[in-house]
Amino acid sequence: SVNPMAYEAQFFGFTPQTCMLRIYIAFQDYLFETMLVVESVILKKVAGFPNCKISPFQVRKSTEKFLLFMKEHFDKLFSKMEEVLLQLVLNIPANVLLPEDKVHEQFSYSKEQFQALQDEISQLQQQYRAEASAGQALRAELEEQKVVRAELEKIVQWFDGLENICREHGTSNLKESFVFLTENSKKLQDVLKDVEEKSK
């Protein structure tokens, strides 16, 4: 089965398979180059022997055979090395969490929990706005109270002033002095009537 080894790619920055592929290709290129060098050396050597019967074609044939042998051998070795490297070196054990994923160890929120957090945040912000405006409303009410208090104090002062005037003129209780005044004016009327009769 196919294992993308994405976690390893997250850590190494490349996929282990790609790495192995690059190593394989590098080895393979190296093998081809070496084979060509070996072949050219053999051709030089053969050219150096007098009456040598080996033709370059034969040399090429055996080079190819040797290359095939080496490649098969190399493939076997390489697949073992690949297996070991992929399992033991370029591999992140299942219990290991990369540093950037450590956060999921403490806070692993499900979608619903995350949404609940978001809802709570917006609800709290809404609550904050409501409280702030309630505060403003109370401050506005204080302003209104100041105006009303000033008006009521004016009225109280007005009555105090009235009371002071009455007290200054000896009529501390308006009602009583009204009664007194009425009696006096009645007496005065009687006196006048009396005087009038006498004068007639």
Q: Is 106 among the residues that bind other proteins (CB under 8 A)?
A: no
Span from 30-38, 40-48, 78-86, 188-196 in contact with other proteins (CB under 8 A) = 188-196
Residue among 21, 52, 96, 134 that touches other proteins (CB under 8 A)? 134
Residue among 14, 66, 114, 180 that touches other proteins (CB under 8 A)? 14
Nearest-angstrom CA–CA distance, 89 and 92: 8
* Residues in 15-34 that interact with other proteins by CB under 8 A: 15, 18
Span from 31-39, 42-50, 72-80, 174-182 in contact with other proteins (CB under 8 A) = 174-182
Q: Closer CB to other proteins, residue 53 or residue 169?
A: 169
Nearest-angstrom CA–CA distance, 181 and 173: 12
CA nearest neighbour of 100 among 197, 13, 37: 13
Alpha helices in the chain (DSSP H): 6-12, 16-48, 56-84, 103-106, 111-168, 174-199
16 and 90 Cβ atoms separated by less than 8 Å = yes
Helix axes 16-48, 56-84, angle to 10 degrees: 160
Nearest-angstrom CA–CA distance, 2 and 17: 11
Distance in Å, CB of 76 to other proteins, minimum: 21
Distance in Å, CB of 4 to other proteins, minimum: 5
**Binding residues for other proteins (CB under 8 A):** 1-2, 4-7, 9-10, 13-15, 18, 98, 100, 125-141, 143-145, 147-148, 151-152, 155, 174, 178, 181, 185, 188, 192, 195, 199
